[in-house]
Amino acid sequence: EVQLVESGGGLVQPGGSLRLSCAASGFTFSSYSMNWVRQAPGKGLEWVSYISSSSSTIYYADSVKGRFTISRDNAKNSLYLQMNSLRDEDTAVYYCARDKVVRGVIFAFDIWGQGTMVTVSS
């Protein structure tokens, strides 16, 4: 079964750090580019970051640039999000999501994890 499972969420104080993980199974992880998407309580979806299959290309949303770092370990079938200098507005469910690529073009996010909750509060 194709699956993504996030972990690492929790309660952290403003200014603190947290590292999220996403474990992939059921597909060749090293062949796919990946993303992190978040959803604040009662709000819509916000794309956070992208990493290519080889880690050669990385993008961030302006809201997290300079504070968050995406990475991956293809040998461990894992995706990561290092979150530093956390703010109240970073409180959200964080999802990892796989790119749907057709003939080399990204058309959607086709596989999503169940999400992990990050709460930033004093």
Could you say which of 69, 91, 109, 119 contacts other proteins (CB under 8 A)? Answer: 109
Distance in angstroms (rounded) separating the CA atoms of residues 44 and 19: 23
β-sheet bridge partners, residue 35: 50, 97
Cβ(11)–Cβ(83) below 8 Å: no
Three-class SS state of 76? helix
Smallest separation, CB 100 to other proteins (Å): 6
Residue 27 sits in the site that holds other proteins (CB under 8 A): no
Phi then psi dihedrals of residue 29, to 5 deg: -55, -40
Q: Which is nearer to other proteins, 62 or 122 (CB)?
A: 62
Could you say which of 74, 84, 115, 119 contacts other proteins (CB under 8 A)? Answer: 115
Distance in angstroms (rounded) separating the CA atoms of residues 88 and 80: 21
Q: Which is nearer to other proteins, 13 or 89 (CB)?
A: 89
Distance in angstroms (rounded) separating the CA atoms of residues 40 and 118: 9
Site string for other proteins, 33-62 (x = CB under 8 A): --x-x------xxxx--x--------x---
* Binding to other proteins in span 58-77, by CB under 8 A: 59
Residues that bind other proteins (CB under 8 A): 35, 37, 44-47, 50, 59, 95, 100, 102, 106-110, 112-115
